[in-house]
Amino acid sequence: MSSKRKWDQEAPDGDGAGPAAKAAKQEDSKSASEAAAAAAAIAAKIAAQFAGGGKDLHDGEFTFDIDINECRNRYLLTKGDTQKQIHDETGATVVNKGTWVPDRTKASDRDPPLYLHISAHTKEQLDNAIAKVNELIAMDLGSLTEDKSNQQRTRRKWPEEKLNVGLESMRTFNVRAKVVGPSGLFVKYIQQETSTRVQIKGQGSGFVEQETGRESDEPMHIHITGPEEQQVARAKFLTEDLLDKVREEHAKAKAVMQQQQMELHQAQMAYAYAGNYAVRCTSFA
């Protein structure tokens, strides 16, 4: 795939290009400048939101937040198509805020649990949007079926993939944090690009299994599920690419730590040798 991903580094520019290549480079430079300006505008907007107590610059006069962190239908509610439909029907804007967390106690004011932020220019628009969201929250998606013999309920099983992370956290390298990215950015990116569910599970993941109320005993891994095989395959490709990047950073961090440990050991040996030498000199005196 040639599309650029969130965790990619910018490649250095080459020298000695011909006129056509230089023209292309100038065009790329222009695009990069425009992208940088857009990024700066977004950063300024976010900063203004924090400075203004969370008020979005594009908010209408009427706003309302609905917590959906524990909502069963949260995946439907956070889809762009669903939120566009609400906007088309009511005129209100619905956006995702916060981050889904399995354990609400681990959330903070800066990184709150997942919720929907609704903004409207009139009270009527706001009330209609709230009613629509509540309707979707209460909707039975019909994914469960039960026969007359009262057999155990079954759910249509989505295609899935499980990728082992295969890395151990170090004092200077938190594996889970590196995989999910700042505020979960990398995982969110994969989910948005592929319309799949991407979760980090296993030991050290912080993911609490509903059946046991604790982390799985399996090693840390990334679990991918989605409605279609091609969506899961695309998410797997992006996840493998992300893990390759994390493993490169882990190897560099490990090499630095080993070097520091070696230098510390050498310093300790030198100190011990100097102490022993001083004791011998004192005994001879």
pLDDT of residue 137: 87
> How far lies 248's CA from each of 52, 155, 158, 205, 223, in Å?
39, 39, 32, 20, 21
Q: CA dihedral in degrees (225, 153, 136, 107; nearest 10)?
A: -60
Instruction: Indicate the SS3 state at residue 66.
Output: strand
User: Is 158-264 the same fold as 55-139?
Assistant: yes
pLDDT means per 10 residues, the chain with 285 residues, are 61 48 54 60 52 57 90 86 92 90 80 90 92 86 47 68 91 90 92 93 88 89 93 93 93 89 83 67 61
pLDDT of residue 105: 80
Instruction: Indicate the SS3 state at residue 53.
Output: coil
pLDDT of residue 89: 92
**How many angstroms separate the CA atoms of 15 and 26, rounded?**
13
Whether domain 55-139 has CATH 3.30.1370.10: yes
Tally DSSP H helices, then E strands, for the chain.
Answer: 7, 8
pLDDT of residue 146: 45
Domain ranges of the chain: 55-139, 158-264
**How many angstroms separate the CA atoms of 39 and 52, rounded?**
20
pTM value? 0.43
**How many angstroms separate the CA atoms of 164 and 205, rounded?**
12
What is the β-pairing status of strands 115-120 and 221-225? unpaired
Class of domain 158-264: alpha beta
